[in-house]
């Protein structure tokens, strides 16, 4: 069963707008990660947030984590056409080797 579930499944925005993607998970976690996948390529790690952190920034990316609601959000500000990709959240429970990935959000940024 999937641990992480992203919402929405697909998102289409104009260049320059902000994109927000949400992730919900079911069990306690050590950390939560966000990955990007361009068409035909492997996943690329974007950012990791630990269970004791509430917010983290990296460039145009902002990630929040609410462990009480078992949810996370990824905000991409001032989106660019090059941000067009699928975005996945991934969680690690205690033990750490079995990372569980959600089904992803497909983001399309129109130039």
Partner 1 sequence: NAGVTQTPKFQVLKTGQSMTLQCAQDMNHNSMYWYRQDPGMGLRLIYYSASEGTTDKGEVPNGYNVSRLNKREFSLRLESAAPSQTSVYFCAGGTGKPQHFGDGTRLSIL
Q: Which residues bind partner 1 (CB under 8 A)?
A: 2, 4, 31, 33, 35, 40-45, 48, 88, 90, 92, 96-104
Smaller CB separation from partner 1, 19 or 43: 43
Peptide bond into 35 cis (omega under 30): no
The minimum distance between CB 19 and partner 1, in angstroms, equals 19
Least spacing, CB of residue 111 vs partner 1, in Å? 25
d(CA 12, CA 53): 29
In the complex, the smallest distance separating the C-beta of residue 73 from partner 1, rounded to whole angstroms, is: 17
Nearest CB to partner 1, comparing residues 47 and 75 = 47
Q: Residue 77: what are its φ and ψ, rounded to 5°?
A: -90, 155
Q: Residue length, the chain? A: 111
Could you give the 3-state DSSP secondary structure of residue 49? Answer: strand
């Amino acid at each position: 069963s999937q641990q992480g579930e992203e919402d929405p499944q697909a998102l289409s925005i104009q260049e320059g707008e902000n994109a927000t993607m949400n992730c919900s998970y079911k069990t306690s976690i050590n950390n939560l990660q966000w990955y990007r996948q361009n068409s035909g390529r492997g996943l690329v790690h974007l950012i990791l947030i630990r269970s004791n952190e509430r917010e983290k920034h990296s460039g145009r990316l902002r990630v929040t984590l609410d462990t009480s609601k078992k949810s996370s959000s990824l905000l991409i500000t001032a989106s660019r056409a090059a941000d067009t990709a699928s975005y996945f959240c991934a969680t690690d429970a205690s033990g750490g080797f079995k990372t569980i990935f959600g089904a992803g959000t497909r983001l399309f940024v129109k130039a």
